[in-house]
Amino acid sequence: MHRLIPDHLGQLMRVRDFVLLWSGATVSLFGDGIYFVTIAWEVYRISNAPTALGVVSAAFALPQVLFLVLGGVLSDRLDRRLVMLLGNVVSGLMVSGLGVLVLFHQIRLWEIVVLVAVYGVSQAFFLPASRAIVPSLIEPELMPQAMALEQFVEPLMSSLLGPAVGGLLVAAGGTGVAFLSDAGTFLVAAAALAAMSSAHATPAVAAAGKTSGRFAILHEAREALQFVRGLPWIWAGLAAAGIANIALTGPLTVLIPYLIKYRLHSGPEVLGLFGAAGGLAAILGAVYISWRGVPRRDVAWIFLSWAIGTAALVPMGLAGAAWELLPLAFVTMGGISLGNVIWFSKMGVEVPGYILGRVASLDMMVSFSLTPLSNAVTGPLAGLIGARHVLLAAGALGAVVPILFLLLVPGLSGRHRPGRPLTS
């Protein structure tokens, strides 16, 4: 069903606004990969404690959790193209600020926290709109191919090429140059969005005459929540992902750079290769689903893929050499991304367009709700029991939780056929 074939690619590439959106997103995702390596290396230059990077990571994630629902509601009420454009501009300004402060040797940890927090707020509005805008640009029958293409490009840029180039930029020119390079990608993405027509970006919620007035936002958020509660695979998936994320995100973001630099005595190039290995696995997962189609037991595949990906943290905690982390990064990101490709494909088919922005914001909010806590507690826990023991415990927890949901929630482990697209 979800096959990425040349005819459909040709049709997608003939839709001008989709090509602009996809091109800008591709460049921006490349910049995200640069940022992943650069922010970790700069924070550890200022402070060699894992707690510092945990605080910075939490400063980026917490505002997203707090503002995602509002971002989802606004993405279903306003011009999604404009919401994304403003989000890109603010993000670019914040990352530019980091680069300028580094180049002038004025950067301090609290300044990083403030700039990264505003960056996180901008992403809380950008992400739901970016998830919901695609169905308004193309015909419904092209949605599976568009999502497969998106899931192919994202790891290629943000996890493979971006981190690899980011490591080289940091090694050759320093973190200031790398931050400014990332900021430039936001400007390119904003220019692409500005060139798009706004005719197809007006959400269906506005056209449908949804509730207006003082309590409109709360009403529309509740409407999305009620929709999610009616589909067990969504609410169970959100709950499992939220718990598994606390086990995965902090250790992966905070401890892997620390392990590479201070325990395995390697440089930023290895951190870049770690991200690149994960990106390669994610790309292969997207290609597999694109050509083979979504498995019949799609929900079981989602939960098991997440469990396998998180379980790879256990051998990471036992690694004695930097090169041993690379195949484990392949397993981690391969499992997580394979589950995500199936998840997003299923959401794109079964969630109506008029509510997709709000459901996407709930998806991201619940999935990421424990991420700030994970980032914040990972450093202190590592200081208390050791980084390796945290990785061992996190991998075990993250593997067990999705499997328990799969076994205990009725109907999740059976066969599921992709639903027909719903209409508003």
| pLDDT given at position 413 | 63
Among 57, 45, 270, which residue's Cα sits nearest to residue 175?
A: 45
Q: Which residue has the tokens 């306003």?
A: 78
Verdict on whether the full-model pTM lies above 0.75: no
306 vs 261, more confident = 306
List, in sequence order, every residue forming a beta bridge with 297; answer none if it has no partner: 416
Among 154, 151, 143, which residue's Cα sits nearest to residue 18?
A: 143
**pLDDT tens across 196-227, in order?**
886 555 555 444 445 555 456 677 778 888 88
Kindly list the distances between the CA atom of residue 165 and the CA atoms of 81, 168, 275, in Å, as whole numbers in the listed order.
29, 5, 11
What 3-state class would DSSP assign to 14?
Answer: coil
Q: How far apart are CA 122 and CA 132, in angstroms?
A: 16
Mean pLDDT over 8-30 rounds to 85
Kindly list the distances between the CA atom of residue 247 and the CA atoms of 63, 148, 331, 406, in Å, as whole numbers in the listed order.
20, 27, 16, 18
**pLDDT tens across 362-379, in order?**
887 776 667 777 877 888
Q: How far apart are CA 417 and CA 294, in angstroms?
A: 9
| pLDDT given at position 209 | 46
Kindly list the distances between the CA atom of residue 394 and the CA atoms of 150, 288, 290, 303, 315, in Å, as whole numbers in the listed order.
29, 28, 31, 17, 11
Sequence letter at residue 278: G
Mean pLDDT over 243-265 rounds to 83
Which domains are seen in the chain, by residue range? 6-408 (1.20.1250.20)
**pLDDT tens across 348-363, in order?**
777 776 777 788 778 8
Question: Is the separation of the CB atoms in 329 and 274 below 8 Å?
Answer: yes
Q: Which two tokens stand for residue 19?
A: 């090509």
Q: Which two tokens stand for residue 162?
A: 């971006």
List, in sequence order, every residue forming a beta bridge with 416; answer none if it has no partner: 297
Q: Which residue has the tokens 């074939």?
A: 5
What 3-state class would DSSP assign to 238?
Answer: helix
Q: Which two tokens stand for residue 89?
A: 């501009």
- Residue 139 — very low, low, confident or very high, per pLDDT cuts 50/70/90? confident
Sequence letter at residue 212: S
Question: Is the separation of the CB atoms in 234 and 137 below 8 Å?
Answer: no
